[in-house]
């Protein structure tokens, strides 16, 4: 089976699965997977990463959210492996894809990850940094993962500020050139969210909005 056939078969497995779960996957649904897959190929080309492995990893990188909300990639390993196997991937390819996904995870990543993990990481991170994401999808993340805005703001600042400071928020020059300005504004915004939540009156206003089902 060719690499193209494997990717086609993988999509055929994933599309109905994502359709079945689209009401729960408000943040990590097929819209996210499609975007991350497309951009990961762009970044893979840029840095000479293996496009087949990057594209395959992108397609299955968030299956853990189907298994369990607010979970880590490890939770999706079994489902990922069985879907990849059904789509005709060899055990070696499955192992490589698993490693790409584990290494690109925000809490695991560092400066020495593989080119494939770098390409996937930049695409996945770009979704977070898009100017539309805090406006349209932050509330969806809150709903999908059953967290509140304080927890989300804390998670973003705790996980992402040090990546920005150590110069690995993005890995590829293309992502740095085009999107770092968005990412910086995004992190300032979330820092401001944390700051404004220290105001008791803001917290009370949010409580009332929640009780009256405005938010
Ligand atoms: Fe993702």
Over residues 198-206, the mean pLDDT reads: 98
- Cα–Cα distance, 111 to 167 (Å, whole number): 9
| Distance in Å, CA 32 to ligand 1 centroid | 7
- Cα–Cα distance, 165 to 188 (Å, whole number): 13
- Cα–Cα distance, 161 to 73 (Å, whole number): 21
pLDDT confidence of residue 60 = 98
Over residues 188-206, the mean pLDDT reads: 98
pLDDT confidence of residue 143 = 94
| Distance in Å, CA 73 to ligand 1 centroid | 10
* b/e map 120-152, b = 16+ CB within 10 Å: bbbbbbbbbbbeebbeebbebbbebbebebeeb
What 205-209 contacts at long range (C-beta under 8 Å, 24+ apart), as own/partner pairs, is 206/149
| Distance in Å, CA 199 to ligand 1 centroid | 32
pLDDT tens string 161-174: 999 999 999 999 99
pLDDT confidence of residue 111 = 95
pLDDT confidence of residue 82 = 98
| Distance in Å, CA 145 to ligand 1 centroid | 13
pLDDT tens string 76-96: 999 999 999 999 999 999 999
pLDDT confidence of residue 131 = 98
What residues have a C-beta under 5 A from ligand 1, the ion?
A: 62, 124
pLDDT grade for 35, boundaries at 50, 70 and 90: very high
Tokens representing 24?
A: 């729960």
Which value, to the nearest 10 degrees, does the dihedral of the CA atoms of residues 137, 186, 107, 171 take?
A: 110
Give percent above pLDDT 90 in the chain: 98
| Distance in Å, CA 141 to ligand 1 centroid | 12
| Distance in Å, CA 36 to ligand 1 centroid | 7
pLDDT confidence of residue 31 = 98
Supply φ then ψ for residue 199, to 5 degrees. -80, 120
| Distance in Å, CA 88 to ligand 1 centroid | 23
| Distance in Å, CA 180 to ligand 1 centroid | 18
Over residues 117-130, the mean pLDDT reads: 98
pLDDT confidence of residue 58 = 98
| Distance in Å, CA 185 to ligand 1 centroid | 20
Over residues 112-141, the mean pLDDT reads: 98
| Distance in Å, CA 62 to ligand 1 centroid | 5
Strand locations in the chain (E)? none
Q: What is the mean pLDDT of the chain?
A: 97
- Find tokens 């290494």 and name the residue: 103
The CB density around residue 178, as the number of other CB atoms within 10 Å, is 12
pLDDT grade for 47, boundaries at 50, 70 and 90: very high
Over residues 151-159, the mean pLDDT reads: 97
Q: How many CA atoms lie within 13 A of 96 on its CB side?
A: 16
| Distance in Å, CA 120 to ligand 1 centroid | 9
């Amino acid at each position: 089976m060719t690499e193209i056939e494997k990717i086609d078969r993988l999509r055929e497995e994933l599309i109905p699965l994502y359709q079945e779960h689209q009401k729960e996957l408000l943040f990590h649904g097929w819209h996210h997977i499609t975007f991350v897959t497309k951009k990961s190929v762009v970044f893979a080309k840029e840095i000479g990463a293996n496009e087949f492995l990057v594209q395959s990893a992108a397609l299955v990188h968030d299956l853990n959210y189907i298994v369990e909300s607010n979970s880590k990639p490890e939770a999706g390993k079994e489902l990922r492996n069985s879907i990849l196997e059904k789509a005709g991937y060899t055990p070696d390819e499955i192992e490589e894809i698993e490693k790409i996904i584990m290494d690109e995870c925000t809490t695991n990543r560092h400066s020495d990850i593989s080119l494939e993990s770098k390409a996937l990481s930049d695409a996945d991170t770009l979704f977070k940094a898009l100017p539309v994401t805090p406006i349209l999808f932050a509330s969806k993340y809150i709903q999908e993962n059953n967290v509140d805005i304080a927890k989300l703001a804390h998670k973003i600042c705790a996980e992402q500020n040090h990546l920005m400071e150590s110069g690995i928020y993005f890995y590829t020059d293309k992502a740095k050139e085009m999107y770092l300005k968005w990412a910086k504004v995004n992190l300032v915004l979330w820092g401001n969210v944390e700051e404004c939540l220290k105001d008791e009156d803001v917290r009370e206003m949010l409580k009332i909005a929640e009780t009256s089902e405005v938010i």
